[in-house]
Amino acid sequence: MTEEQREQLRAAPRTVISVDAMGGDRGPSAVVSGLARSAAKNPDIRFILHGNAAVLEKLVGKRRALEGRVEIRHADEVVTMEAKPSHVMRHGQGTSMWSAIDSVRKGEAPVCVSCGNTGALMLLSIVRLRKLPGVNRPAIACLWPSRSPQGFNVMLDVGADVRADEHDLLQYALMGTSYARNGLGLERPRVGLLNVGTEENKGRAELKAAHDMIETCAAQANYDFVGFVEGGDIPSDKVDVIVTDGFTGNVALKTGEGTARLIGDFMREAFKATPLSRVAALLAYTSLRRLKKRIDPRRVNGGVFLGLNGTVVKSHGSSDATGVSAAVKLAFELAQSGFSERLAQRVATAACTEDDPKTAIARSAQ
Amino acid sequence: MTEEQREQLRAAPRTVISVDAMGGDRGPSAVVSGLARSAAKNPDIRFILHGNAAVLEKLVGKRRALEGRVEIRHADEVVTMEAKPSHVMRHGQGTSMWSAIDSVRKGEAPVCVSCGNTGALMLLSIVRLRKLPGVNRPAIACLWPSRSPQGFNVMLDVGADVRADEHDLLQYALMGTSYARNGLGLERPRVGLLNVGTEENKGRAELKAAHDMIETCAAQANYDFVGFVEGGDIPSDKVDVIVTDGFTGNVALKTGEGTARLIGDFMREAFKATPLSRVAALLAYTSLRRLKKRIDPRRVNGGVFLGLNGTVVKSHGSSDATGVSAAVKLAFELAQSGFSERLAQRVATAACTEDDPKTAIARSAQ
């Protein structure tokens, strides 16, 4: 890139996404290929790309769609998928992940995207970006294909922390509401709490406490609380935001993805089974392609870290170009809506009336 | 039924299944319709049917396949889906569920099937059949469609208890191994422990402890331990038995079913989308039907309660005839393999060497 091009990049009133090129299972070529896809579709997008400069310059140079739209920041080191988050926190300063997050910290980009080690990315994000005032446990929110008119439901936490008490769950309800409003355009989202039954006497103690707290805050925080929901309701039209702890949410997310992949494979086998079914697959090509797109987990790739000063999008470790491109699209949309600022405002002002002792607890936890 | 028919029923060397006709969401007609389907397919099956005699006689009388193969036991009351398990335990003696379990207790049938209230069925089963010596928390095991050669993997616990400590998880590994051996014919099942990552440093404390205990017992108890598995691995070919607590397992099960239903609906829409795709659906009819059967959650309907003196199969509350028939088929197969006796023997003898303090703990928990 020439100095002139670099100048042009900085001057343009475009949305800049900071991208960690090195962390994923498939390496930087999958990442750059995904960026090229996004750039071709979206003329308003620019990237700051963090990683090994020699490798990245070569990869970016091959993609015409990326010409003049990528600034490369060299980082010597890579956070591996096996690295311990605490080690990365102490010694990760030379890594591409650290550098990518710091672009958000310095205000060079409103959003960061990484396919790297989730635990390390979360911990680095917390340490470098810091939690929003009042947030105890940040969460990762994902979009889930659903029967809702908007086509997706929000679920959180899907893996930031393996624990969550009732105060955390209430915060997740508030943060998820904000995400649904800014990311999906829902004015008054319906919030449900994930449990093993919809009866109020079921489940773990912290869930019963969270049920009451989330119910009490609904009016003030402008969401509808639909009560307990079950695993089968996650893709349903009866709820928009599903609240759960990061252990359960992560298992549910991966189970749903695994089931979708299994059925996809079975479907391909079914269409190869007989000559007639092969003809059928040709005839139904367009419809089947639309179906595939609708249920492809890579298309909804990108968990969003909520509760920090800045937005971080975590793409799957195994993301290919399609997955990276989906994560970049999500990052772009959140950046454009000014999501970080809105969420901060929401968490700061989401107060329930203090008349009720229960909500006073909720408030003190915020 | 004439006295002669009744005599004939008792004399025949057939497998008798005790069935609670009243508990499910769809009432006794769905249950009887499912029994008729099973009876038509399987000449070796007989039923003791528990519920309102007047209603049941009418329903059974309409089904030729059931002629001379059903003994009806009148029960005045029904355990509703909303009933509190503890209330049913104290006051449930006149219910069809109680009566159905007691047929197993008295040795009239080796297996009981019910679509009723899971919590009540579990608690009644524990109280009336009693836990096997050494079992702390009984579990519900389900079959999950998978890429494994046997077509299914076993997962447990999927909802008997919302908690499980490391000792319970080890017992689940032992009981699941026994189920996989008797129900799926796997001589040396591969056991995995569900977690949010496959790295050994991830997840909750009790999971790390369980990991070591299950690993230590593998050789003695004749299974292979594959370590931690994730949600996406549940339908995979890298594991046969997935061990988890009842909260996580229940959410995963319902999430998987919900995802399968969602994709099924999307698929139907796709085939109705254009005239060409409608023709395609006709051409691929046989293949699609096979696919539907392969992923239909009703076909693998039937959780099995493990760890009791006798086998209880819990069918979905919303089971229709297909679901009930699948649960009956599973009950029949388990009865034929003498599963209850084998499991009892397994839990009693599954001793790990006591040289290692870890396994001594495991043993003391059995």
pLDDT tens digits, residue range B97-111? 999 999 999 999 999
Provide the percentage of residues in chain A whose pLDDT is more than 70. 86
Q: What is the pLDDT of residue A30?
A: 93
Residue ranges with strand state E in chain B? 15-20, 45-51, 70-74, 111-114, 139-145, 152-156, 190-194, 224-229, 241-243, 303-306, 311-314
Task: Identify all chain B residues contacting A267, using CB atoms and an 8 Å cutoff.
Answer: 267, 291
Is B303's pLDDT higher than 70?
yes
Highest mean pLDDT among A130-139, A233-242, B291-300, B303-312: A233-242
Fold for A139-297+345-364, please state it: Isopropylmalate Dehydrogenase (3.40.718)
Amino acid at A161: D
How far apart are the C-alpha atoms of A239 and A188, rounded to whole Å? 11
Looking at every residue in chain A, the average pLDDT score rounds to: 85
A311 close to A104: Cβ distance less than 8 angstroms: yes
pLDDT at A223: 95
Indicate yes or no: CB of A201 within 8 angstroms of CB of B84.
yes
B206, B287, B288, best to mutate vs chain A, most A CBs in 10 Å? B287
Report pLDDT digits (tens) over B284-294.
777 767 766 66
User: Per residue in A139-184, pLDDT tens?
Assistant: 999 988 888 888 889 999 998 888 999 999 999 999 999 899 887 8
Q: Are A182 and A266 contacting, i.e. CB atoms less than 8 angstroms apart?
A: no
User: What is the distance in angstroms between the Cα of B270 and the nearest Cα belonging to chain A?
Assistant: 5
**Residue B354 pLDDT > 90:** no
A283, A285, A318: best to mutate for the B interface, most B CBs within 10 A: A283
Give B190 or B116, the one with higher predicted confidence: B190
What pLDDT sits at residue A233? 95
Dist CA A148 CA A146 (whole Å) = 5
**Per-residue pLDDT at B143 exceeds 50:** yes
- According to the model, what pLDDT value does residue A201 have? 63
**Which residue of chain A is at minimal alpha-carbon distance from B295?**
A263
Among all residues of chain A, which has the CA nearest to that of B257? A232
Q: How many Å apart are CA B192 and CA B249, to the nearest integer?
A: 13
- Tens-place pLDDT, residues A301-322: 678 999 999 999 998 777 888 8
Shortest distance between the Cα of B207 and any Cα of chain A, in A, equals 11
A127: distance to nearest CA of chain B, Å? 20
Residue predicted with more confidence, B295 or A323: A323
Q: Which of the four pLDDT bands, split at 50, 70 and 90, describes residue B6?
A: low
Identify the bridge partners of residue A74 per DSSP, sorted by sequence position. Answer: A51
User: Six-digit token pair at A301?
Assistant: 């790739």
Cβ within 8 Å, pair B203-A258: no
What does the block give as tokens for B194?
Answer: 């569900």
Q: What pLDDT does residue A2 have?
A: 62
Tell me which of B290 and B225 has the higher pLDDT.
B225
Q: What is the pLDDT of residue A44?
A: 92
The shortest C-alpha distance from B320 to chain A (Å) reads 17
Q: Nearest C-alpha of chain A: how many angstroms from B294?
A: 8
Judge: domain B3-129, CATH 3.90.1150.10.
no
Q: What is the pLDDT of residue A360?
A: 40
Chain A, chain B: beta-carbon pairs less than 8 Å apart: 194
| pLDDT above 90: residue A61 | yes
* Chain B CB contacts of A80 below 8 Å: none
Tell me whether residues B251 and A271 touch, CB distance under 8 A. Answer: no
Hey, what's the torsion of the CAs at B243, A166, B83, B319, to 10 degrees?
-50
What's residue B64's pLDDT?
A: 93
Whether A196 sits inside 8 A of B236 (CB atoms) is: no
Q: Tell me how far apart the alpha carbons of residues B71 and B48 are, in angstroms, rounded to a whole number.
A: 5
pLDDT of residue A13: 56
Plot region of B258 (φ>0 → left; ψ -120 to 50 → alpha; else → beta): alpha
pLDDT at position A354, please? 38
d(CA A292, CA B187): 38
User: Do the beta carbons of residue A140 and residue A308 sit within 8 Å?
Assistant: no
Q: What is the chain B residue with the closest CA to A203?
A: B162
ipTM of the complex: 0.80
Q: Where are the domain boundaries for CATH 3.40.718.10 in chain B?
A: 3-129, 139-297+345-364
Of A257, A266, A286, the CB nearest to B274: A286
Q: How many CA atoms lie within 13 A of A61 on its CB side?
A: 8
**What does the mean pLDDT of chain B come to?**
85
| Res B358: pLDDT | 45
- The minimal CB distance from B256 to the residues A199, A259, A276 is found for A259
Task: Please give the residue of chain A at the shortest CA–CA distance from B281.
Answer: A280
Higher pLDDT, B175 or A282: B175
Before A157, cis peptide (omega within 30)?
yes
Residue B9 reports pLDDT greater than 60 = no
pLDDT value of residue A362: 42
Nearest to A325 by CA among A304, A305, A306, A301: A301
Asked whether the beta carbons of residue B146 and residue A262 sit closer than 8 angstroms, the reply is: yes
A234 CB neighbours in chain B (<8 A) are 255, 258
- As beta bridge partners, residue A302 has none
A231, A254, A294 ranked by CB distance to B258: nearest: A231
Residues of chain A with pLDDT > 90, as a percent, come to 52
Q: Which residue type occupies A93?
A: Q
Query: Is the link from the previous residue into B157 a cis peptide, with omega within 30 of 0?
Result: yes
Which residues lie closer than 8 Å to A219 by C-beta, 6 or more apart? none
pLDDT tier, B353 (very low <50, low <70, confident <90, very high otherwise): very low
Q: Determine the pLDDT at residue B364.
A: 37
Rounded to the nearest angstrom, the minimum Cα separation between A69 and chain B is 36
Question: Do residue B235 and residue A262 have CB atoms under 8 angstroms apart?
Answer: yes
C-alpha span between B147 and A110 (Å, rounded): 42
Residue contact B231–A248, C-beta within 8 A? no
The pLDDT, as a whole number, for residue B5 is: 57
pLDDT in tens, A10-38: 555 589 999 999 988 888 999 999 999 99
Residue A300 has pLDDT above 70, yes or no: no
pLDDT exceeds 80 at position B283 = no
